[in-house]
Structure 1
Amino acid sequence: MIRLPPPGEPLPHSVSDAPFDPVADHAQDEGGKLAHASQIRVMWWKFRRHRVAVWSAVFLALMYLTAAFAEFLAPYDLHTRDTANIYAPPQQVRLFHDGRFIGPYVYARTMQLDMENLQRVYAEDRTRPEKLRFLCRGDEYLLWGQVAGDRHLVCPSQGGSAYFLGTDRLGRDILSRIIHGARISLTIGILGVAMSFVLGIVIGGLAGYYGGWIDAIVQRMIEVLQSIPSIPLWMALAAIMPVTWSPLLVYAGITIILGMLDWTGLARAVRSKLLALREEDYVQAAQILGARPRRIIARHLVPGFMSHLVASATLTIPGMILGETALSFLGLGLRPPVTSWGILLTEARSVNTLALYPWLLFPVIPVVLVILAFNFMGDGLRDAADPLR
């Protein structure tokens, strides 16, 4: 028989029936510090509950570290060509040879021309294992364009080859080009979001704080921009850039285009928040004390929902990465010798090429993984920034 407690006392419950709440558990363990914790700390406690978002953040951190040290991590230089291994398939890394452990290695390959199908046929030579070298000397490079070096994380054996994801039509290592292309594709999203972030806060802040005719003009401008399909608008603006521009200018132009066209959603979020907060007592008190509108917006209003803005910006980055990839794939974005994931995918536009060399589609894998990681991390940040969760 279950005995009920006297009226006014809570019902007992077992520890196993209590929901797991890291934020509440942390507050109990630390003596109730949740009430005195900063907004950033509370967001961090909530963010840790979203395991997928945490692992996505770790994955993205590794991707950006890879992009930062691309020269060291890539087995070959970006433009190194091997005419003896054109359209070579991926080589499998193995550990055991004839039942004996010899460490990471790949088999040597032989190549023959198939004159009937007009293609190269590669075959593994199982009698010639080629051990991989680590922290070895290879192609020379300039790390960040400043530091000269020739050390690589992994290299093929002397006189051998190590093409883990195959090669393209010029005999260039696809894995090395994917690693180098990450630097462009990942940074263009960050820089574009930084520009749209500033534009969204400034324009949305003015519309939400002042209202009236300023708000009406901003809203009509946002509606016009959002009514135009994104891809045709990107293509039209990208086509305006002169073909004589250097790769650096084209990179800056693509970044500006993506940043100037993706601020509308963020501006509307800022406007809606300011419309709700500008009538609060602390805002009116700041106005009575003579604070300028710029100070009120920057010091009192925007910090109150900065966590929501960060979450929104995180969800915007994937769209910019896809925009750069689409423009480069269509030949209207970045151009060689600059390499991005979109440029690498231009090799896979031909159906006949894909039928013979399917490994040319490997650059799409990091694009999909990065987009998913940003979306998962953005969901976690959005949940952490929501005070009702």
Structure 2
Amino acid sequence: MNKPLPEPGAELEHFVSTAPFDPNSMALHVEQERAGMTTSQWRLMWWKLKRHRLAVVSLVFLAVMYIAIALAEFLAPYGLETRNLDAIYAPPQQVHLFHEGRFVGPFVYGRDMTLDMDTLRRVYVDNPDQVNPLRFFCRGDEYRFWNLVDADLHLFCPAEGADAFLLGTDRLGRDVLSRILYGARISLTIGLLGVAVSFVLGIIVGGLAGYHGGWIDTALTRVTEVLQSIPSIPLWMAMAAVIPITWSPILVYLCITLILGLLDWTGLARAVRSKLFSLREEDYVTAAQVMGAGSGRIIGRHLVPGFMSHLIASATLTIPSMILGETALSFLGLGLRPPITSWGILLTEARSVNVIAIYPWLLFPVIPVILVILAFNFLGDGLRDAADPYK
């Protein structure tokens, strides 16, 4: 028996009725409808980003990290170069709350040190008879906050006459936790400064190539392809090795930043070029040309702002490579140099396999490196999805 033909539109009604319900998508649609035609691209991008929970968590984590580098002197329990010759290569101390069943609050046990005459290693053993409570908002090592104000206030300090090395010490008896906090200021800011340099170069080179086309596009594209074909690490090493040893640490820091920025703009330039190829034929570009606007004004005021969200997402994904570049150069001894401290310089203490096997806590600086790189990658993925108009 032949079945009757469905009425027009019945298939569509059946598909709509059986389509899975997405509450997040519905909530986003309601917010967009309420905002009406006044909703900006940035607000739509924020609504989409909020749906990417891993990206939001990464954004919060990175915000906390950058706030922490602004307060590094306050958060660090010790000064950057404070040494304790009685605690060389001391292992991390565990924080306790209870002592013999009684609540004491955050404290660490004192330690007794002996020298192993067979291996000539220092052996540290907890002394349960010494209970050293941690002090909060206390007076400790003096420092010059942002090189402007003299202060000695710290978030937490060891008890009077005692020590508290939560992540252990290095070969000079310096607190690893304090040095990680100080090193974060260099490692995290060098990524932002480097991406600022590459951002400007990428927009200029990609904008000229994509807007003008012709021989300008051919020449700039060939230069970009040549730079992309050279392995990054050897090129960084070659340029970093040219830096004179006599330069001050600040000049070395600025030079490493410029090197990272000058060699990492090619991907952003290609993205800008491809976008401008599709936008330069639009009517509003033709109208701007008829009114006498120059190419610089058309690119900077009319074309680039239209896909700035995509550029920000691309720049966010570029920052991790610059942080890794600085860490690799400093680890190899070709990047930043003491007295400047970065995560890469801290990892130079763990270059030997024997040192890692005996003092594994010297690898702790690699943990914030991994967490920050993952956070930037997750945030970049979220921003890229949020900037996509087809999602």
Q: 2:69 aligns with which of 67, 88, 109?
A: 67
Alignment correspondent of 1:249: 251
Name the CA distance, whole Å, in 1 between partners of 2:319 and 2:20. 40
Quick one: distance in 1 between partners of 2:106 and 2:19?
47
* Counterpart Cα distance in 1 of 2:234 and 2:21: 53
Pair 1:205-2:207 in alignment: yes
Give, in whole Å, the separation in 2 of the partners of 1:197 and 1:29.
32
SS in structure 2 opposite 1:48?
A: helix
Deviation for aligned residue 1:146: 0.5
Q: CA deviation at 1:295?
A: 1.1
Contact kept in structure 2, 1:283 and 1:300, CA below 8 Å? yes
Give the CA deviation at 1:160.
0.4
Query: Residue 118 in 1 paired to residue 109 in 2?
Result: no
| Cα 1:138/1:212, change in 2 over 3 Å | same
Give the drift of 1:143.
1.0
Question: How far does the alpha carbon of each residue in 1:31-82 deviate from its partner, in whole angstroms, 9 at most, with x for none?
Answer: 5325431000000000000000000000000111111100000000000000
- What does residue 85 of structure 2 align with? 83
Q: Does 1:158 align with 2:140?
A: no
What does residue 274 of structure 2 align with? 272
CA contact (8 A) 1:34 1:42 kept: no
Alignment partner of 1:20 is 2:9: no
**3-state SS of paired residue (2:228):** helix
Distance 1:75 1:149 in 2: 13
Q: Which whole-Å CA distance do the structure 1 matches of 2:36 and 2:173 have between them?
A: 58
Contact 1:27 1:33 in 2 (8 A): no
Change in 2 beyond 3 A, CA 1:148/1:68 = same
Letter in 1 for 2:143: Y
Deviation at 1:224, TM superposition (A): 1.0
d(CA) in 1 for partners of 2:31 and 2:314? 32
Provide the aligned C-alpha RMSD in A.
1.7
The CA deviation at 1:127 is: 1.3
What residue is the counterpart of 1:48 in the other structure?
Answer: 50
SS of residue matched to 1:169: coil
Does the aligned pair in 1 maintain the 2:107–2:134 contact within 8 Å? yes
Q: Shift of the alpha carbon at 1:15?
A: 11
Q: Which runs of 5+ in 1 are unaligned?
A: none
Question: Aligned ranges for residues 1-389 of structure 1 at < 5 Å?
Answer: 8=9, 10-11=13-14, 17-22=20-25, 24-28=26-30, 32-389=34-391
The offset of 1:179, in angstroms, is 0.2
CA distance in 2, matches of 1:12, 1:274: 39
Query: What is the TM-score of this pair, normalised by structure 2?
Result: 0.95
Per-residue CA deviation, residues 222-254 of structure 1 (Å, 9 max, x unaligned), is 111111111111011001010000000000000
Distance in 2 between residues matched to 1:289 and 1:237, nearest whole Å: 45
Quote how far apart the aligned CAs of 1:155 are.
Answer: 0.2
Specify the code of the residue in structure 2 equivalent to 1:19: D
Deviation at 1:30, TM superposition (A): 7.2
Query: With structure 1 as the length reference, what TM-score do the two structures score?
Result: 0.96
Number of residue equivalences: 384
Q: Which runs of 4+ in 1 moved over 2 A?
A: 5-17, 26-32
Between the two proteins, what is the percent identity of the paired residues? Answer: 68
- Preserved CA contact (<8 Å) 1:56 1:373: yes
User: Deviation at 1:28?
Assistant: 2.3
- The 3 A distance-change label for structure 1 pair 321 and 13 is same
Cα 1:209–1:181 shift into 2, 3 Å: same
In the alignment, the residues of structure 2 paired with residue 187 and residue 44 of structure 1 have an alpha-carbon distance, to the nearest angstrom, of 25
Deviation at 1:311, TM superposition (A): 0.2
Tell whether the 8 Å contact from 1:348 to 1:354 is kept in structure 2 after alignment: yes
SS of equivalent to 1:290: coil
Give the corresponding residue for 2:3. none
Structure 2 vs 1, CA of residues 271 and 54 (structure 1 numbering), >3 Å: closer, same or farther?
same
- Over 3 Å counting, the alpha-carbon distance change for 1:208 and 1:31 in structure 2 is closer
Q: Which amino acid aligns with 2:383?
A: L
Corresponding residue SS for 1:92: coil
CA distance in 2, matches of 1:272, 1:29: 32
Q: Secondary structure at the match of 1:323?
A: helix
Q: CA 1:135–1:206 in 2, change beyond 3 Å: closer, same or farther?
A: same
Deviation, 1:7, is: 6.0
